[in-house]
A and B are shown apart, each in its own frame.
Chain A
């Protein structure tokens, strides 16, 4: 019968291997902790992003409608009929009123764009923090630990890759929308058409991708990392 030793092996002080293992576990925890925070932030941003996109729908519809009105009123050959003789400035006044209304709707969209910008910035920062944390700690984490995954916890390498992909998609979507708004003018028919046709392109792809990655990390996000 082997008698369990009452005194642990490292009682005289930690040996070198144990020390290296402790350090690597500690560094790995740091990276995982940062990734945990980053994916939490992504989760929060996704709901804000969805809300902002939904809030843009009504003003976008209004903008589309007002542009059509603007176009028709500009093209209407009403002066020739002679009916509007008592109202010589009607066209100018009407176009001014439509422009004012358009400005109002665009400012509503810009309020939502600000929220998208915040999300974009936040995800970008978190991606940067996670990459920085990995770069700082990578010399102490063995490669097999970086690639290690369990059924409930994805590998560090995968999570970093997902985070970068999310950041790229969010950045792309936000700047695409920003460009469309900058190019928009009621007098420019192409800008209006582009806004109408291109605004929602890629939105669903982004949401699906982020939701997919969040579902992979759902158990990881429920864990408490200390």
Chain B
């Protein structure tokens, strides 16, 4: 009888250890990686703000030129140079911002790889001990963390390529609407979806960085 109904041993969730207990192993690594993802995205936001200021200054210079050009065509006189020297430091600033953003995206790629590695490790462990994979913290399995970090990485990678296109072309704009288009595209970051933001927030809640 005892043999038939022996107690089932369940792996304890790290959440049950309480806040004062230190995490170890995969949960520790997942929690730290989630924090790193958040910090990297925070850095990206700051860089985006700096870039917005630079791009606004470029826009002011270029719009001034576009307007004077239109007036010159109307009055049939020669117009000013389309590329004044004041654009150069701003372009350099944007290029530096781009490099830093690129580093952020590289880091995100690294975090996605870490999560993938942890997932493989956990799968290997479970296959060895023949037990099913249980949620890492509250509800998410390791696959959720992998998917979330990959989704975030993809969004930011696409956004980075858009930023590159904007930086390369913003000084060559010849009309107001296109200039406004570039400013809006920089500001609103169309490839960073609400889903990506939600995934990061969910990851922070899941790992216990944000209170439930």
A-side residues, CB < 8 A to B, are: 68-69, 72-73, 75-78, 81, 83-84, 86-87, 90, 93-94, 96-98, 100-101
Contact yes or no, B184 A73, CB < 8 A: yes
Majority SS of interface residues in chain A?
helix
Residue of A nearest to B161 (CB): A86
Give B contacts to A, CB under 8 Å. Answer: 161-162, 165, 169, 175-178, 180-181, 183-185, 188-191, 194
Verify B177–A94 contact, CB threshold 8 A. Answer: no
CB pair A69–B184 under 8 Å, yes or no, is: yes
Chain A neighbourhood of B183, CB < 8 A: 69
Instruction: For B176, list chain A residues within 8 Å (CB).
Output: 72
Contact B161–A93 (Cβ < 8 Å): no
Task: Report the separation of the CA atoms of residues A184 and B26 in the bound assembly, to the nearest whole angstrom.
Answer: 53
Q: With A and B bound together, what is the CA distance between A97 and B161 in angstroms?
A: 18
Is the Cβ of A87 less than 8 Å from the Cβ of B184?
A: no
Residue from the list B161, B169, B184 in contact with A94, Cβ < 8 A: B184
Q: What are 8 A-B residue pairs whose CB atoms fall within 8 Å in the complex? A: A69-B183, A73-B180, A78-B181, A83-B165, A86-B165, A93-B190, A94-B184, A101-B188
Do the beta carbons of A75 and B162 come within 8 Å of each other? no
Complex contacts, A97 vs chain B, CB 8 Å: 188-190
Pick the contact of B181: A73, A93, A96, A101 (CB < 8 A).
A73
Rounded to whole angstroms, the CA-CA distance of A68 and B176 in the bound complex is 11
Q: Given that A73-B181, A75-B177, A76-B181 are contacting pairs, would A94 and B188 also be in contact in the complex, using a CB cutoff of 8 Å?
A: yes
Distance in angstroms between the alpha carbons of A166 and B162 in the assembled complex: 55
A87→B177 contact, CB < 8 A: no
Select which of A81, A83, A98, A100 is within 8 A of B184 by beta carbon. Answer: A98
Residues on the A chain within 8 Å of B191, using CB: 87, 93
